[in-house]
Amino acid sequence: MSPGGLVLDRALSAMGCAASARPVAATMADDGVMQLDDDDTRPRAAVPLAGPPAAVDDLEETLRLGATTQHRLLREPTPRRAPPARPPVAPAHLTHRVRVGGAAPLSLGAPVLVGRAPRAPRIPAGLPAQLVVVASLTGEISSTHVELTEVGHAVVVRDLRSTNGTRVVTPGGPARMLAPGESAVVAAGTVIELGDGVAVEVLPPGVAGATGSGGDGGAGTR
């Protein structure tokens, strides 16, 4: 190979031109310097870059998925939470009742004192007593004659040291006289006779006043 051809071959190798590269014309000048004739002005295709475009595509896909998810969350209604269940309410305790004469029934939620002019104790043991005034034409009924209270689920009648005593008539049983200051447990349906035709009837538990006729039995509360 001539010296000029060897120089040309090395120049082409250094420039990275393979057999598939575009043809390049070279000539040797008189002074021994190689000159390349690059008159090819054809447009060259851009070489795609590896890496950055893919990263851009991944970012655009992430932003698109995020926008889609946010749009779906805004459109979907928020599920409503069921209100908390309320605890069951225990039924109110119904107390026994008493009916004095033909008056409306009174609840034994508080003690009941019956007499011509009943007075409550100075130091009450619990709730203030209900005072029921009854007429006594012959004076057989004392001022504070009898007390009726509910203890647990039972009714207790107590004679308050009356002058003529208290007569208790149980349903289906014999009548008995209470001694002054004596107490007795009675059931619903019991009739307590005070005198002068005045009687107190013990009624089963219920709402006070629900079955009262409000007649003219001569009894009144205060």
Query: When comparing pLDDT for 194 and 46, which is higher?
Result: 194
pLDDT of residue 41: 52
**Between the CA of residue 35 and those of 11, 106, 142, what are the distances in Å?**
11, 132, 150
Candidates 147, 121, 122; CA nearest to 132 is 147
Question: Global pTM?
Answer: 0.55
Overall CATH class of domain 97-221? mainly beta
pLDDT of residue 173: 86
pLDDT by residue (tens digit) across 135-147? Answer: 999 999 999 999 9
- The boundaries of every CATH 2.60.200.20 domain in the chain are 97-221
pLDDT by residue (tens digit) across 178-215? Answer: 999 999 999 999 999 999 999 999 999 987 655 443 33
Confidence of residue 133 (pLDDT cuts 50, 70, 90): very high
